Amino acid sequence: MYQLAAKFTSLTSLDLSGALNLSDACVEVFGKNCPQIAHLKLNMNPQIECVPNDGIAFAVGNTMHQLEHLEMAYGTLSNAGFKFLMEMCAKLEFLDLRGCWHVDMSETYAKEASQRLKVFHTPIVIDDEPYANVREYSDDANEPEYWSSDESDCCWR
């Protein structure tokens, strides 16, 4: 993975969603070799049971300081990893944590995140459908934007 990351040093967007056995070391390699990454997708398939693990969150927070857009839906993130990401990724504007069942939204920093971020998808998932609580709007069919008709559902503002 190191050899691959070393070849793409000007990479600004990376999607590792669904990667089986994705490790924090792999994410860290990309973070160290591709310092301009601004958009990162680490979405996983829904899991019935998972053990909290913040290694990937710590790798992201320690190496990806230009990050503006982060998707970690259905990941193993806990409160500690969430707090670390919020502290270390100062440019973060978009955060998707749908299905991250170990993140407690009653914590103070979770409330601060909903105020700081332009877009914050909370761990709450309605009907296990990724966009069950949003409608699609787009001027460009290739770049859909999602927005919510109900401000209380913590999707788009």
Which pLDDT does position 154 carry in this prediction? 36
pTM: 0.78
How far, rounded to the nearest angstrom, does the alpha carbon of residue 130 sit from its chain's CA centroid?
14
Range of the domain at 62: 2-125
Does a structural domain hold residue 71?
yes
How far, CA to CA in Å, does 45 sit from each of 73, 90, 100, 103, 136? 8, 27, 11, 17, 22
Determine the pLDDT at residue 3: 85
In the chain, the number of structural domains is 1
105 found inside a domain:
yes
Q: Judge whether 66 lies within some domain.
A: yes
* Residue ranges, the chain, pLDDT below 70: 48, 127-157
Report if residue 76 sits inside a domain: yes
In a domain, 133, yes or no: no
130 in a domain, yes or no?
no
Q: Does residue 107 form part of some domain? A: yes
CATH classification at residue 83: 3.80.10.10
